[in-house]
């Protein structure tokens, strides 16, 4: 991945960490999941992600003014640059397609959109 500090392709995601989920810019207090890049944890990570999305949809489904779900962001601070660049805790990086693929995201959101009667029209 591209490092915004040293401008090299030297950024990589740490083997384990935490990902925050923002949907339409909203994040629930517990709207995060742990990941582990070890393939042995793939299913566990996927099911944690799925559960967190479902919690969000359940919660958001009760809102009076529901907006179409258009944006989802998976953000992490668990990133490292091979050149040891330093990042502030405010600098977060997308975990889409490294930890969870876009296909899975679309699939999960579409499923819960139907289940909880929320419109999903993702804009990338």
The answer to the question of residue 34 lying near Zn ion (CB under 5 A) is no
The answer to the question of residue 83 lying near Zn ion (CB under 5 A) is yes
**Nearest residue (CB) to Zn ion, 81 versus 104:** 81
The answer to the question of residue 85 lying near Zn ion (CB under 5 A) is yes
The answer to the question of residue 9 lying near Zn ion (CB under 5 A) is no
Cα separation of 39 and 26, whole Å?
29
| CA 108 from centre of chain | 12
- Residues 6, 18, 46, 75: which binds Zn ion (CB under 5 A)? 6
54-77: b or e for each residue (b if 16 or more CB lie within 10 Å)?
eebbeebeeeeeeeebeebbbbbb
Q: Which residues bind Zn ion (CB under 5 A)?
A: 3, 5-6, 81, 83, 85
């Amino acid at each position: 991945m591209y490092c915004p500090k040293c401008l090299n392709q030297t950024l990589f995601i740490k083997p384990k960490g935490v990902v925050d989920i923002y949907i339409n810019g909203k994040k629930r207090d517990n709207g995060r999941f742990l990941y582990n890049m070890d393939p042995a944890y793939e299913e566990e990570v996927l099911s944690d992600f799925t559960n967190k999305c479902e919690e969000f949809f359940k919660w958001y489904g009760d809102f009076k003014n529901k907006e179409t779900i258009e944006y989802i962001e998976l953000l992490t601070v668990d990133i490292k640059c091979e050149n040891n660049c330093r990042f502030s805790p405010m600098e977060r990086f997308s975990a889409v397609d490294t930890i969870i693929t876009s296909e899975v995201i679309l699939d999960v959101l579409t499923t819960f959109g139907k289940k909880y009667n929320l419109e999903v029209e993702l804009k990338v």
